[in-house]
C-alpha cells in the first residue's frame, strides 16, 4: 500500500506498522501491473529516479550504491576465488554491476521472476541496469527456488536480492529455499541475502538467522545504511559453508576500490558488529 498526495509518495506497509517514509515527487514516470506485482517509477525532487514494487521502495539513484555494494562485495570478498555466481531477484541490475567488477568471475546467472522489472530498469534505472551489459551474464526468467533445485554444488556465491516477504518474495524467506541454496553451493560457497531491518522487523530477521544458523557452519548479519529505506537501515544475512564471511579473504584492488562509494575491507568487518539488543535477538549474547 502507498499514497501519493500533494506531490509526496509515502511508503506504507504492515511490515512497519505506524511508520511511513515520504519522498517528494516531481513526476510519475511509469506504472504497470505485471503478472506478479505493481511496478512504478517516480522522478523524485532530491533522490533521482525511484523504483517501487507493490508500493515498496526498491532503489533510488541517490543511495542505491550502499545496498548494492554491500550485498555484493561482502560475499564476493569473503570467497577466495568466486568464478560462478548466481543472483536471485535483482532485476534492476545493480548487483550484476557490482559482481562485474570482479575479474575472477567467469559466469553470472541471474534468475528474476518478473521480466518486466528488468525491462523497466533498463529504461529508467540505467546506472544500475548497466550490469546486464556484461557478456558473462545469462538471464533466466523463472522462480528462484525452482531454478536452483537441480544445480547441485554448482555456485561459489549466491546473492539473493529479493523484495520483502510479501507476494513473490515470500518463498525466499523460508527454510526450503535456504536448503536448496545450500545444495547449490560448492563446498566453500558463500551466500548473502536481503535480510530486512532488525530495527523494524526483528521477528523476520530472527527467523532468517535461525534458519541460517541451523544450515550453515557460519551465519552472520551485516548492517547497511540506506536513507531511503524505512528506518534508514537494512541488513544482509551472510552464510559460509567453510569459512567465516565476516572476514574478507580478498581485498579489492585499488582500481576497483576507487570506484566504490560505500564498501571497503574495514566496513566489511565493522558491518557485523551488532548493537546489544540485536545480539540478544540472535541469541549471541544474553
- Identify the bridge partners of residue 85 per DSSP, sorted by sequence position: 108, 157
Q: Which of 112, 71, 23 is nearest to 224 (CA)?
A: 71
Residue-range domain boundaries for the chain: 2-59, 64-281
On whether the 2-59 domain is CATH 3.40.1160.10, my answer is no
Q: What is the pTM of this model?
A: 0.95
Per DSSP (E only), the strands in 45-95 are 49-53, 56-60, 84-89
Q: Is pLDDT above 60 for 114?
A: yes
Q: Which CATH superfamily is domain 64-281 in?
A: Vaccinia Virus protein VP39 (3.40.50.150)
User: Which sequence positions are flagged as catalytic?
Assistant: 161
pLDDT at site 243: 92
Q: Is pLDDT above 70 for 168?
A: no
Q: Is pLDDT above 60 for 285?
A: no
Q: Which of 49, 64, 48 is nearest to 261 (CA)?
A: 64
Q: Is pLDDT above 50 for 142?
A: yes
Cell numbers for 47, please give them: 533522490
Q: Is pLDDT above 60 for 2?
A: no
DSSP structural state of residue 172: G
Q: pLDDT band at residue 170, thresholds of 50, 70 and 90?
A: low
Amino acid at each position: 500500500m502507498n499514497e501519493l498526495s500533494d506531490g509526496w509518495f509515502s511508503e506504507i506497509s504492515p511490515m512497519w506498522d505506524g511508520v511511513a517514509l515520504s519522498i517528494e515527487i516531481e513526476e510519475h514516470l511509469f506504472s504497470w501491473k505485471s503478472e506478479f506485482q505493481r511496478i512504478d517509477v517516480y522522478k523524485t525532487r532530491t533522490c533521482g529516479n525511484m523504483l517501487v514494487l507493490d508500493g515498496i521502495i526498491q532503489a533510488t539513484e541517490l543511495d542505491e550504491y550502499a545496498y548494492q555494494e554491500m550485498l555484493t562485495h561482502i560475499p564476493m570478498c569473503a570467497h577466495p576465488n568466486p568464478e560462478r555466481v548466481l543472483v536471485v531477484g535483482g532485476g534492476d541490475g545493480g548487483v550484476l554491476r557490482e559482481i562485474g567488477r570482479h575479474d575472477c568471475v567467469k559466469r553470472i546467472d541471474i534468475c528474476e521472476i518478473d521480466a518486466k522489472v528488468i525491462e523497466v530498469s533498463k529504461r529508467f534505472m540505467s546506472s544500475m541496469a548497466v550490469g546486464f551489459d556484461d557478456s558473462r551474464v545469462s538471464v533466466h526468467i523463472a522462480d528462484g527456488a525452482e531454478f536452483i533445485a537441480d544445480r547441485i554444488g554448482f555456485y561459489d556465491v549466491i546473492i539473493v536480492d529479493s523484495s520483502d516477504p510479501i507476494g513473490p518474495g515470500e518463498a525466499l524467506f523460508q527454510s526450503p529455499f535456504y536448503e536448496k541454496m545450500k545444495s547449490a553451493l560448492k563446498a566453500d560457497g558463500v551466500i548473502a541475502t536481503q535480510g530486512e531491518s532488525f530495527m523494524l522487523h526483528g521477528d523476520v530477521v530472527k527467523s532468517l538467522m535461525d534458519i541460517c544458523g541451523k544450515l550453515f557452519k557460519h551465519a552472520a548479519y551485516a548492517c547497511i545504511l540506506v536513507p531511503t529505506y524505512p528506518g534508514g537501515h537494512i541488513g544482509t544475512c551472510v552464510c559460509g559453508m567453510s569459512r567465516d564471511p565476516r572476514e574478507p579473504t580478498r581485498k579489492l584492488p585499488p582500481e576497483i576500490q576507487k570506484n566504490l562509494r560505500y564498501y571497503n575491507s574495514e566496513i566489511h568487518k565493522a558491518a557485523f558488529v551488532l548493537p546489544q539488543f540485536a545480539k540478544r535477538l540472535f541469541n549471541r549474547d544474553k
